[in-house]
Amino acid sequence: MVNLLVWLIAGAIVGWGAGLVLRDRNGLVVNVIVGVVGAMIGGFLLGGATINENVFSLNSMVISLVGAIILLGIVHLVRRGRLA
């Protein structure tokens, strides 16, 4: 139970950080989703440990943040109709 709570909090922080970088204002639930899915993307692209693997270090947070920024960037492009 504690691991789940820490994972959700870390996902929210990563999603919030990505929103700050891209000036996107989302709610808590969206931030958690962006953080967790972004962590999967970052782990896949960069090949490092992420918050999804219960590794809570600075390196895993940065990899997760990069993935979340990539995810939000793609969402922004699709919303604007530049990529469809």
Locate the domains of the chain by residue range: 2-80
pLDDT at 2: 60
Of 37, 32, 43, 42, residue with least CA distance to 8: 32
Local confidence pLDDT in tens for the 84 residues of the chain: 667 888 888 888 898 999 889 888 878 888 888 888 988 898 899 888 888 777 778 888 888 899 999 998 888 888 877 655
| Tokens representing residue 21 in the block | 């970088």
CA-CA distances (angstroms) from residue 48 to 25, 36, 42?
A: 28, 15, 8
Q: How far apart are the first and last CA of the chain?
A: 40
pLDDT at 77: 85
